[in-house]
Structure formats: C-alpha cells, structure tokens
Chains A and B, each alone.
Chain A
Amino acid sequence: MNAVSIRNVTKTYGSHRAVDNLSLEVPTGSLYGFIGPNGSGKTTTIRMILRIIQPDQGSIRVFDSEGGSAANDQVGYLPEERGLYKKLSVRRMLKYYASLKGLSSRECELQTNRWLEHFEASEWANKKIESLSKGMSQKVQFIASIIAAPKLLILDEPFSGLDPVNAESIRAAILQLRAEGTTIIFSTHDMAVAEKMCDYIFMIFRGDKVLDGTLESIKAEYGADTVRLRFNGPRESLSVLPGVQRVTDMGEYQELQFNGDPQAILSRLCEQGSISLFEIAQPSLHDIFIRIAGEDSQAALAEGAAS
C-alpha cells in the first residue's frame, strides 16, 4: 500500500504552473527524498499532500483517503521556515500541537515527556521558547512534528541551520522512525544527505517530475559515464580532454562526465601530469542534479551545502 498516491496533479498560480500533471507513489515505510531547485514545485507538492492547498486537477490520496482532515492527524510536518510561540513554555507548546493532532491530554503529556527525554531536553520543558538557542528551538520544532507518532512524516530541510551534533541527533531520530515503520518524505538541497539517507529520490524541476525511483535505478539510468579523478596537473586541460562533456570540481577530486573511451582520457592525462585517483563510476546525485537543473541550480546547491 502506498502512503501517498498522487495522480495527474496540476497546480497553477496565476499564469505560473507550479506543478504540471504530476504522478507519484510513495510506498509505506519508505524514506523518500524530494529534491529540486528553489521554486521548482517541491513546497507546493508538499502543501497539496498536507491539504493546505488544493490541486487544480488530479487527485492526492494519503493513506487511501482523498478528502477531509482526518488523514492529517496521521501526518507530521516540519516546515522549512520554523516558527514557534515565543511566549509559551516548551511543554505547553508541545502539548498544544499534540492536542491539535487529536491526542488526549494524557497522551499529550506522555509523548511530550518521552521526546523531551529522548532529546535530553527535559530540563527545558518549562522554559519559554524565546529563551532557547536556535539549535534547541529546532529540536523542539522537530519534536512538535513527530509528537503525535505520525504514520507519514514530511520534513522540509530538517538539518537547515543545525550544528553537526544536533544534526546527527535529528538524523538518528529520523532513521529510528523509519525503522519503526513511519513513511518519511524528506525535502532537501543537500544531495549528499539525500544520497546517504533516502530509499527513493524524486526530483521536480519547473513543475515537472524529472527523476523518480531508487537511487540505484536513477544512477543506472545515467550509466557509468563519470570519471573520478585526482590529478596533479593543469586543471584547464581537463575540459579539452577527448569526449569530456563536463568537469565538476568536488574539492578533493574532480568529476568528469564523458562520452567515449576512458582509456583515451587516461592516456592523455598521463602525458600532462601525475594521477593519484582514476575511477570510472556512476554519477553522484549532485552531478545528476546539475545535469538536469543546469546553472540555475548552482545557487540552490550552494545553499544546501552551506546548511
């Protein structure tokens, strides 16, 4: 059974088509990564799944329910732009969000205590939100999104602005929830994180679905057309190598997208400098993203890397 089933959905704002005839199935229990440049339609898709906005055409079923708000009680949501009631205490705010998801007063109390303990934040329970650090606020917001034990959890940039320690604790919680059977939709600009965590990748670009499937199947689709190279010679010579279509500097190494004979590339490189790594590989998700979104996506990726 699919947790989310999107069929031929279109959403238009004025003359701008934000989502165009989109179909997508999110299997129950999977961790589905949503990627795409800014303004590509990710947030609109997420909002339609949450029934915050309605599609112009097509249908969206969440746990086999198409209308009403009952299904939303089974959905947890962490928006990209975080907001909490600054004047409320952590406990009071969490209980409020839990009660909006239909939890009884006793369940609210139990779940609040459970998750505060999990994140070692019990001592902050009676502190006002305004007194929390940014990292702690984000943890509280994350707890608010999972406090009602949702069957579907939608996370929009969950690691944005977190230091490595806090990011790791959130990452561990996400993986734990997936292990417990929660379906997770995970929107991010950080391709490395998406590659490491997600079972499936969905990419939307200018309102159209351009990628959908497991990471392996997506990479297999692109084939072994990439050379990973650590080269101690003139960098400008890489782009003029025979069959090389694109050069991406990954910092520690370079990625060359090629179309032709890799042996010819290797021979030419040996003439020009020393090589400490030469590996024929499938393209990284980062590279695939750039190939699809082109230069428009550089800013989005830079933003993702920074966060």
Chain B
Amino acid sequence: MNKILTVARTEYMIAVTSKAFVVGVIMMPVFMCGAFVVQLLTRDQVDLTARKLAVVDRTGQMFEKLDSAAQQRNEYGIYKSDEDPDAEGDSANRKQVAAKFELERVDSSAANAELEAELSERVKAQELFAFAIIDEDILAPGTPGKVRYHSQTPTYQTQYRWLQRTINELVRQHRLKELEIAPESFAAIASGVEVEERGLVEANSDGTGQETKKLDKIATLAVPFGGIMLMFVMIMSVAPAMLNNVLEEKMQKISEFLVSSLTPFQLMLGKLVGAVWVALTLATIYIAAAIFLANYFDFSDNIPIHLYFWFVFYLFIALTIFGALFSAIGAACSELRDAQSLMTPVMLMVVMPMMCIAPVLDSPSSTFAKLVSLFPPATPMLMFARMALPPGPAAWEIALGTVLSIAFAGFCVYAAGKVFRIGILSQGQTPTFGKLLKWIFTK
C-alpha cells in the first residue's frame, strides 16, 4: 500500500507542478478573461464603408418610405451614444459603430431577369453593395409577391435584416391604412399572452405548500449540461494522459526499473490513484469557482448540495474506469501510433454519453434515458445529468447504476492490471483484442 501511495504521490506532484497543469488551471481563466477583453476591444472595429443598395420599386410607393427609413437609421441608429439625448444631432461627438445605408432608385420597366443581370454587374464592379427588387403586388394582403435581395456578401446580414424588417413594417402600415384600422388598435389586438413555466408545489414540514418557482429553462439545463461537460473535460484531460505517461515510461525503459521495486499492478494502481487525485484537485478548483459564481449570480438555488457529492463520486468512478483502460492500452503498445486502433473503442465509450445528451436532457425519465444511464461506462455522466433534472431518477435506478458502475470500474482495474502485468515489459507487435482478452484471463 505504501508503494502505491509513493507512486501516486510522485505522479500527483509531477502533474500538479508541471507547466501544463499550471497553464490549464491558473492561466485558463486569464486566457478566457484576455479573450473577453480582446472581444471588447475589437467589438467596434467594424467596416464603416457605406453600403449602397439599389432598389427597383415596382409598387411605386415604397422607395421614398424606405429611403426615409434609411436616412433615419443613418442619423440615429448607427452611433454608440444614440441613447444619450444630448448627443442627438451632434454627429461630431458620436462614434459611428455601423455602416450607413445609401439607397438608389432604379426606374426601369425592364424584365426582372434583364435587370438582375445589369445590377449584378454593378455589384461585381463594386458600384453597389446589393440590390433589391420589390414586386408590384406586395401591398395587397394574401398576394404571392415578394422582395428579392441580391448580394455577393451573404455573410453580411445587417442590411438584409434591416430591409426585411423595414419593408414588413411599411407594408403592415399600408394594409392597416387600407383597412382603416388604427395602428394602436392593431397592436392591442396582436399583443400575445405569456405562458409561464413553473415548477411543482413542494410540501413544507407543516403540510403547507410552498409557492411554486418560476422555471428558468436555461438555468434548469445549465447544471446537468455543465456537469456533463466538466466531467467530460476532466476525463479527457486525465485519462488519455495516462496512456501517454505509461507508454513514455515503457519506451524510455523506466518501467522495467520500477517493476523491480513493486509489482506491475501496484505501479498501475499508483498511477491511477495519482491521476484521480489530479482530476479531483482540478474538480475542486472548478467546483469552488462554480459555487462562487452560483452565489454571485444568485443561482445557487438551482444546485442542490447533494449534487456536488454525486458529481465527485461519479467523476471518481469515470476516472477509474477510463484511467485503467487507457493505462492498459499504454502498457500493451510499444509506440503511440500503435495505440490509436486500441483507443478507438475506449474513446467511443467516453463520447457515447455526449452523443446521448440531447434525448436524455429532453426526456430524462424515458426508457431510453433509463437504459443508457444504467450502461456502466455512461452511468457517471448520464445518471448525474438525470439527477440534476427534476424529478430525477428513482432511488432504485441510482442504486443499481451505482452498483453496476462500481462493479464495472472494479473489473476495468482488474483487467487493466492483468494487461499491464504482461504488456509493460513486452516489445514488438501491438496485441490484438483477442490477445488482450487472453492476457486478462491468463493466470
């Protein structure tokens, strides 16, 4: 036991004092803050070149109104201090943050196809940014007419969205006027009714019911989704690193020296314990940050205390399973490229819960969700996700999932120990899955 702890302690110290760990834990928030600051600094760095839009108005009634709306936007809608009433009208003191739209009327009775060809050439020659053709019959309700917007820069959506919004508003106003309906009356008629999502009443100890809480869908999904993502990141940052660690020691002939002092199983277990400690250290840091942020943003009601325990417990199980499997692969191979084929099925097991996340979060009590959350390699992530979502799995499901995942973790450690024992000193050809099974069941 002492030797296992000696290996674990050394592996842990090597990991947590490495640059990669320091960068991963301490520098990551710095990098994220840095990225945020860079985003803030570059937010206003937009191309302010005026976007010239040619408009073919077949209705004969829309261009003036559109042009007026564009001028209104150019005057008040594209400056940073537009909300400051003092700044209004004083463009010299305002900072422009979006491009102006300049509209050009195109009077032509030519067919659409002919016009499109001509205007397309002008766009290509950069005389225009885009052009729009407004059909004649768009003003009457229920007609099939439309507005076609042509541009060679489909990624710039600002002008398209402005045109769509403005034309619809103008057409709506026109139709209301035709029908002699006051715009205020229409707004009142069209106003919607809120359908509020709320939770169930939880009985107090005195038998009275608590007031139900308003459900925040994002907040409800944030905990299971965030938990799964954090667990996935922990597994991916620790388990494959074990493969590299074992393989590197094997390639550098350190393993033979080590196994003269302790058994291969002790060596593997020591490495596994060390890796789990590293992951739990990372998890502690991130959980502490999560608790701080949850309190800061008044979100802590959404994370029951027992979920922290289950997160750590399932993280421990997942790391034991995948750490053991990855270290066995590292021991069985002689080169990193040989490990790729053996890694594939294990990687599939790691990402399988991620592939099932959508249906499980959508219907956490469905048969599918129950079955996949009882599949041991997926239990840590998916059972945790179900526990974080109301109403949560039944107690027997949690108990069964826990027993199955512990048993599977135990089997993985046993099997990995058997592979490790033979593989760590073997050289040459990478064993097949059949041979690995033979190693597992060899006395």
Binary flags per residue of A47-60, CB closer than 8 Å to B gives 1, else 0: 10011110000000
Within 8 A of A (CB), among B334-390: none
Within 8 A of A (CB), among B175-194: none
**B-side interface mostly:** helix
Whether, in the assembled complex, A87 has its beta carbon less than 8 Å from a beta carbon of chain B, the answer is yes
Binary flags per residue of A40-74, CB closer than 8 Å to B gives 1, else 0: 00000001001111000000000000000100110
Whether, in the assembled complex, B153 has its beta carbon less than 8 Å from a beta carbon of chain A, the answer is no
| A99: chain B residues within 8 A (beta carbon) | 6
Decide: A83 and B425 in contact? CB cutoff 8 A.
no
| B262: chain A residues within 8 A (beta carbon) | 69, 72, 100
Whether, in the assembled complex, A181 has its beta carbon less than 8 Å from a beta carbon of chain B, the answer is no
Cα of A161 to Cα of B252 in the assembled complex, Å: 16
Cα of A47 to Cα of B424 in the assembled complex, Å: 13
Decide: B252 and A83 in contact? CB cutoff 8 A.
yes
A144 and B257 contact, Cβ closer than 8 Å, known pairs A52-B425, A69-B263, A100-B262: yes
Decide: B249 and A73 in contact? CB cutoff 8 A.
no
Give which listed residue, A53, A100, A141, contacts B261 with CB less than 8 A: A100
Whether, in the assembled complex, B80 has its beta carbon less than 8 Å from a beta carbon of chain A, the answer is no
Cα of A88 to Cα of B13 in the assembled complex, Å: 11
Decide: B261 and A72 in contact? CB cutoff 8 A.
yes
Whether, in the assembled complex, A102 has its beta carbon less than 8 Å from a beta carbon of chain B, the answer is yes
A52 and B256 contact, Cβ closer than 8 Å, known pairs A100-B7, A102-B2: yes
Binary flags per residue of A123-159, CB closer than 8 Å to B gives 1, else 0: 0000000000000000001001100000000100000
Give which listed residue, B10, B249, B261, B263, contacts A83 with CB less than 8 A: B249
Decide: A83 and B257 in contact? CB cutoff 8 A.
yes
Which residue of chain A has its CB nearest to the CB of B260?
A77
Within 8 A of A (CB), among B244-264: 249, 252-264
A77 and B257 contact, Cβ closer than 8 Å, known pairs A83-B249, A100-B3: yes
**A-side interface mostly:** loop
Decide: B425 and A97 in contact? CB cutoff 8 A.
no
Whether, in the assembled complex, B14 has its beta carbon less than 8 Å from a beta carbon of chain A, the answer is yes
Closest chain-B Cβ to A121's Cβ sits at a distance in Å of 18
Cα of A77 to Cα of B7 in the assembled complex, Å: 18
A88 and B6 contact, Cβ closer than 8 Å, known pairs A53-B425, A83-B256: no
Which residue of chain A has its CB nearest to the CB of B258?
A100
Cα of A83 to Cα of B249 in the assembled complex, Å: 8
Decide: B253 and A73 in contact? CB cutoff 8 A.
no
| A85: chain B residues within 8 A (beta carbon) | 14, 254
Cα of A82 to Cα of B261 in the assembled complex, Å: 15
Binary flags per residue of B263-278, CB closer than 8 Å to A gives 1, else 0: 1101000000000000
Whether, in the assembled complex, A79 has its beta carbon less than 8 Å from a beta carbon of chain B, the answer is yes
Cα of A47 to Cα of B249 in the assembled complex, Å: 18
Number of interface residues of A (CB under 8 A): 29
Binary flags per residue of A109-120, CB closer than 8 Å to B gives 1, else 0: 000000000000
Whether, in the assembled complex, A75 has its beta carbon less than 8 Å from a beta carbon of chain B, the answer is yes
Give which listed residue, B6, B253, B256, contacts A100 with CB less than 8 A: B6
User: In the complex, which of the residues B2, B6, B14, B261 has the most CB atoms of chain A within 10 Å of its own CB atom?
Assistant: B261
Closest chain-A Cβ to B271's Cβ sits at a distance in Å of 13
Whether, in the assembled complex, A247 has its beta carbon less than 8 Å from a beta carbon of chain B, the answer is no
Decide: B425 and A47 in contact? CB cutoff 8 A.
yes
Binary flags per residue of A84-96, CB closer than 8 Å to B gives 1, else 0: 1111100000001
| B259: chain A residues within 8 A (beta carbon) | 50, 52
Cα of A85 to Cα of B260 in the assembled complex, Å: 16
Closest chain-B Cβ to A135's Cβ sits at a distance in Å of 17
Closest chain-B Cβ to A54's Cβ sits at a distance in Å of 9
Cα of A81 to Cα of B255 in the assembled complex, Å: 10
| B425: chain A residues within 8 A (beta carbon) | 47, 52-53
Whether, in the assembled complex, A189 has its beta carbon less than 8 Å from a beta carbon of chain B, the answer is no
| A154: chain B residues within 8 A (beta carbon) | 260
Cα of A132 to Cα of B257 in the assembled complex, Å: 19
Decide: A81 and B261 in contact? CB cutoff 8 A.
no
Closest chain-B Cβ to A263's Cβ sits at a distance in Å of 54
| A11: chain B residues within 8 A (beta carbon) | none
Cα of A141 to Cα of B259 in the assembled complex, Å: 15
Which residue of chain A has its CB nearest to the CB of B18?
A87
Whether, in the assembled complex, A101 has its beta carbon less than 8 Å from a beta carbon of chain B, the answer is yes
| B261: chain A residues within 8 A (beta carbon) | 72-73, 77, 97, 100-101
Closest chain-A Cβ to B160's Cβ sits at a distance in Å of 56
| A72: chain B residues within 8 A (beta carbon) | 260-262
Decide: B252 and A86 in contact? CB cutoff 8 A.
yes
| A96: chain B residues within 8 A (beta carbon) | 6, 10
Within 8 A of A (CB), among B1-53: 2-3, 6-7, 10, 14, 18
Cα of A73 to Cα of B18 in the assembled complex, Å: 30
Cα of A239 to Cα of B10 in the assembled complex, Å: 62
Which residue of chain A has its CB nearest to the CB of B256?
A79
| B263: chain A residues within 8 A (beta carbon) | 51, 69
Which residue of chain B has its CB nearest to the CB of A13?
B426
| B252: chain A residues within 8 A (beta carbon) | 83-84, 86
| A102: chain B residues within 8 A (beta carbon) | 2-3
| B258: chain A residues within 8 A (beta carbon) | 100
Cα of A53 to Cα of B253 in the assembled complex, Å: 16
Cα of A79 to Cα of B249 in the assembled complex, Å: 14
Closest chain-B Cβ to A145's Cβ sits at a distance in Å of 8
Cα of A50 to Cα of B262 in the assembled complex, Å: 10
| B255: chain A residues within 8 A (beta carbon) | 83
| A51: chain B residues within 8 A (beta carbon) | 263
| A83: chain B residues within 8 A (beta carbon) | 249, 252-257
A87 and B14 contact, Cβ closer than 8 Å, known pairs A52-B425, A53-B425, A102-B2: yes
Closest chain-B Cβ to A95's Cβ sits at a distance in Å of 9
Closest chain-A Cβ to B1's Cβ sits at a distance in Å of 11
Q: Closest 8 interchain pairs by CB?
A: A83-B253, A77-B260, A83-B254, A81-B253, A100-B261, A83-B252, A79-B256, A50-B260
- 8 additional A-B pairs beyond A47-B425, A52-B259, A69-B263, beta carbons within 8 Å, are A72-B261, A81-B253, A83-B252, A83-B257, A84-B252, A86-B252, A100-B261, A100-B262
Q: Which residues of B contact A (CB under 8 A)?
A: 2-3, 6-7, 10, 14, 18, 249, 252-264, 266, 425
Q: Which residues of A contact B (CB under 8 A)?
A: 47, 50-53, 69, 72-73, 75, 77, 79, 81-88, 96-97, 99-102, 141, 144-145, 154
Can you list 14 residue pairs at the A/B interface with Cβ under 8 Å? Answer: A69-B266, A72-B260, A72-B261, A77-B257, A79-B257, A83-B254, A84-B254, A85-B14, A96-B10, A97-B257, A100-B3, A102-B2, A102-B3, A145-B257
